[in-house]
């Protein structure tokens, strides 16, 4: 579970949304999921970024997300929060 400035979410929920969007043949909508290179995370690029959304809303043109899970080439996960001042910032991992 990740804590991003008080918003808590499970990476499994993020991936379930992506899988559901894929199974509905929505493909890539609102530019998600996408590959990006993040220098402040470590891991082996490219990274694949998935938005945290309720169900599949963001894939259907719904509201934009500010909370994400990013996965590097080796499958290492990290929660992220985005803000306009600092860009993508790591979230706290809660065990």
Domain ranges within the chain, ordered by starting residue: 2-93
Do the beta carbons of residue 43 and residue 78 sit within 8 Å?
Answer: yes
Quote the pLDDT of residue 13.
74
Identify the CATH homologous superfamily for domain 2-93. Microbial ribonucleases (3.10.450.30)
In angstroms, the CA 52 to CA 23 distance is 17
- Which has the closest alpha carbon to 52: 8, 86, 90, 89? 8
Of 75 and 29, the structure prediction assigns the larger pLDDT to: 75
Res 28: pLDDT = 62
22 pLDDT exceeds 70? no
Phi and psi based region of residue 6 (left: phi greater than 0; alpha: psi -120 to 50; beta: remaining): left
pLDDT in tens, 33-82: 788 877 777 778 888 887 776 544 444 455 556 778 888 888 888 888 88
């Amino acid at each position: 579970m990740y804590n991003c400035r008080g918003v808590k979410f499970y990476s499994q929920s993020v991936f379930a949304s992506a899988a559901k969007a894929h199974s509905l043949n929505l493909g890539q909508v609102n530019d998600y999921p996408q590959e990006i290179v993040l220098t402040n995370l470590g891991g082996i690029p490219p990274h694949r970024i998935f938005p945290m959304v309720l169900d599949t809303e963001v894939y259907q043109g719904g509201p934009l997300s500010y909370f994400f899970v990013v996965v590097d080439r080796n499958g290492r996960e990290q929660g992220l929060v985005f803000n306009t001042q600092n860009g993508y910032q790591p979230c706290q991992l809660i065990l």
